[in-house]
Amino acid sequence: MTISSALNAGVAGLSSNATRLATISDNIANSSTFGYKRMEADFHSMVISSTGGSYSAGGVRTTTQRLIDQRGPLVSTANPTDLAVRGRGMLPVAQQSQVTVGNGAPNMYLTTTGSFRTDADGYLASESGLVLLGWPANSDGTIPSYPRDTSDGLEAVQINVNQFFGEPTTNMALGVNLPATDTEAGSAGLAQDLSVEYYDNLGTSESIQVEFTPTVPGTGSSNEWTMTIRDSATGTAIIGEYVLTFEDSRTAGGTLLSVTTTSGGAYDPATGGLIVNVAGGPMEIDIGLLGQSNGLTQLSDSFAPVKITKDGSPVGNVTGVEVDANGYVHAFFDTGITRTIYKIPLVDLPNPNGMVALDFQTYIPSPESGSYFLWDASDGPTGDIVAFAREESATDVAGELTAMIQTQRAYSSNAKVIQTVDEMLQETTNIKR
């Protein structure tokens, strides 16, 4: 019985070391595979209770585990949509075949790195057939609230490079200095004209035409102007008229003292803005706060448009896409504007090593990994997303070769045990002779 147990233990040792050699072989074979997570084999002794003073060898058995939470070094690339996770968390992806079929929401897979480029349909996909998933943004670039414990809100990131895009102008700020000398008695009282371009709902260029007419008193200085606003899209019809009075005190001279509305939207002293209706809808025009020099002023003897700002953009084409550290996908247009179109979350689980490993360095959650949660990148326990980068294999070739030598010696030793048991059994059968 004892000799047989020794034989069985030797056979178990051969099998266990063969399993360890298989994991080493797999690790070395994938030493250049981006995002590869190394396999590790652990040995566990099997103990059989000894009775009657004799001992039976229990042998050994092996368990294998893929160390998914072990990360490889990051290397720089030239592709802006080469992505890698620095720290905890994983990128959500889907199989390209499921996305293109369009038969419901695709299954979510997880990976730590990928080289994504637009395919024929505009999806950000890798050569291995993985499509990046993200939350789509609203038309204004904001991200709606999505559930974080499910992948239902995720969509395949799709970039339509042939699509035209423009943004209408909805906000404008006027930083203009009006000449104080024009409101003095005896001045010519000539109006000062200002034209500011804006973009309507169809991306067409229109203009707001602002006319500042001074109030010329009989004596002294009025410090008063009438501001008339016209819209070129409505045949220069008046859309707002306001009476502006400026301070002449020593502490706040030249700043707005009051704004009186004749027509159009009322001036809001809390924000310094007023709302007028152009052909495409309401537009807010910021003329500055009362007592502040951040908008309209009246100083000296010159008319000077100091600073004119506005939102909106003309129609343009997508020229490039980048992903920032927080997972926002930005589209760049040939008109010089940038628009947020998606947000990529990072998926985290209590036990990443408990996930089920699949082809192409992808993984799916399992009961052993625990429930997943979709975090904003750089928030909570997750790291950030690095663009222009790939994660290298987590294999340490030198360490694997060292483990291979140890495994080879252990395998040879177990084979020697079997050979010795065979010789002992031969001696036992020779007793009969």
Distances (CA, A) of 234 to 199, 202, 205: 14, 15, 13
d(CA 179, CA 188): 12
What pLDDT is recorded for position 337? 83
Distance CA 130, CA 120 (A): 14
Q: Which domains does the chain have, with CATH numbers?
A: 2-67+394-430 (no CATH), 79-155+345-391 (no CATH), 167-315 (2.60.98.20)
Which pLDDT score is estimated for 106? 87
Q: Could you state, in chain order, the average pLDDT of each consecutive group of 10 residues for the chain (433 residues)?
A: 79 92 96 95 82 76 93 95 96 93 85 95 94 92 92 92 80 97 95 95 92 96 97 92 96 96 96 95 96 95 95 86 95 87 96 95 95 94 96 95 95 90 84 73
Q: CA dihedral in degrees (272, 277, 282, 284; nearest 10)? A: -20
> Which pLDDT value is given to residue 433?
66
* Chain mean position to CA 248: 51
Q: How far apart are CA 328 and CA 342, in angstroms?
A: 6
pLDDT at 226: 98
Single pTM value for the model: 0.76
Q: d(Cα 340, Cα 165) in Å, to the nearest integer?
A: 12
pLDDT, position 1:
56
Give the pairing type, strands 256-263 and 373-375.
unpaired
Q: What is the DSSP string of 300-325?
A: TT--EEEEEEE--EEEE-EEEEEE-T
Give pLDDT, residue 52: 65
Q: Map tokens 């495994």 to a residue.
A: 407
pLDDT of residue 87: 93
Report the 10 Å Cβ neighbour count for 301: 10
Return the structure tokens found at 316.
Answer: 């343009």
DSSP, collapsed to helix, strand or coil, labels residue 223 as coil
